[in-house]
Amino acid sequence: MNKLKLAFIIVLILFILSIGYIGINVYNKYQTNKDNDIYSKGAIFGYGQAIEQVYTEVTQCKEVPITFNNKTITIFSIDCLKDVYQQNEGNQKLKK
């Protein structure tokens, strides 16, 4: 076997290995992007569900505790307070 054929075989093997290496990297990036996309869609769905749940509770005049960084606040609808105020105002007029 002459040196030219040996060099050609070595270059061909290196070429095949580099194509395989590039292919593996492209596939891994594809999988990572796909996994990140699934994670993002799940997070967005979860946020939407949480907002919907808070909205539903608040519109039913219920208090909703929200906790973030070990601090809790309670959300309540102003509309419900207006309704209670108007009812109390009406009751006060009836008492007079």
For the chain, strand residue ranges (E) read 64-68, 71-75
Q: Given this model, what pLDDT does residue 38 score?
A: 95
Average of per-residue pLDDT across 56-63? 91
Write down the pLDDT at residue 80: 83
Report which DSSP code applies to 61.
T
Domain extents in the chain: 1-60, 62-96
What pLDDT shows up at residue 77?
87
Is the confidence at residue 90, as pLDDT, over 60? no
Per-residue pLDDT of 63-89, as tens digits, reads 999 999 999 999 988 888 876 777 766
Q: What is the pLDDT of residues 19-30, one digit of tens each?
A: 999 999 999 999
Report the relative pairing of strands 64-68 and 71-75 from DSSP bridges: antiparallel
d(CA 62, CA 49): 17
